[in-house]
Amino acid sequence: MDALYPLGLFGGVMALIGAGLVDGTSPLSFLNLAALCIVFGGTISATVVQHPLRVVVRSLAMLRWAITPPYYEPSVFIEQLIELAHKSRKYGLLSLDALIDDIEDPFMRNGLRMAVDGTGTTTIMRTLRLRLHTQTELDMMAAGLFEAAGGYAPTFGIMGAVTGLIEVMHHLSHPSELGMGIAAAFVSTVYGLVLANVFCIPTANRLRTVIAEQLVARNVFMDALHGIVTGINTLELRTILESYYLPNKKSGETEDNTAMETA
């Protein structure tokens, strides 16, 4: 579980409330049911209109990734794949059949299933590439749904403010009520900005990061599976798999070397 996401959401809302308290504004002044209906209802409606049902469903399913993303620790992940290669070379591909159901990622589970079933290497790789492309494309569209919502939310906030001001105009004969009415009207603008910049846009970017990390992990798996099926030497296979994460390692080594030279 990644606690930074809920903490960030909580911190963003509390920053707004805290700023109001510093200025002597009651938190209750930010509560306005009409503004909530316009901003949240309008944003959801416009977002749903823009996207097909499969993207909407996928985006809701992916929302849990913001808190509990699928994570593959590079060293542990590579070691697990090398163990599969060792077992396959020693006992044959069929020996991996008992391990298939323990794999959580359906993409990897299906890939290993095809290998154990004796599917040709070319067919396996082509099928996995197509599935990876299709799934990644759908996931990116699902993440983009939150970004689209972040674009609509401020607009509906302004619409709520305008609607509130129209209502205020009906009470011009009562000057004492104008100040409170105008303040209530602009609450919807705050709702729109907070919804967009605290939740929607950060969530979209967070999901894109998770998708990118998963894409790397699945490419690592595809190369590992190709090596397992073709019987490549495990030392060579390890070198290939570690190359996916080598740039980060090299970057760290370069920084360390630079620090030593500076010292």
DSSP state of 41: I
Distance in angstroms (rounded) separating the CA atoms of residues 188 and 154: 9
Tell me the pTM.
0.82
Maximal CA-CA distance, the chain = 90
Per residue in 210-238, pLDDT (tens digit) is 999 999 999 999 999 999 999 999 999 99
Per residue in 5-19, pLDDT (tens digit) is 888 888 888 887 787
Residues 149/207, Cβ–Cβ less than 8 Å: no
Distance in angstroms (rounded) separating the CA atoms of residues 29 and 22: 14
Which pLDDT score, from 0 to 100, does residue 250 have? 45
Per residue in 59-100, pLDDT (tens digit) is 999 999 999 888 888 989 999 999 999 999 999 999 999 999
Does the pLDDT value for residue 251 go beyond 60? no
Per residue in 146-173, pLDDT (tens digit) is 999 999 999 999 998 888 888 777 767 7
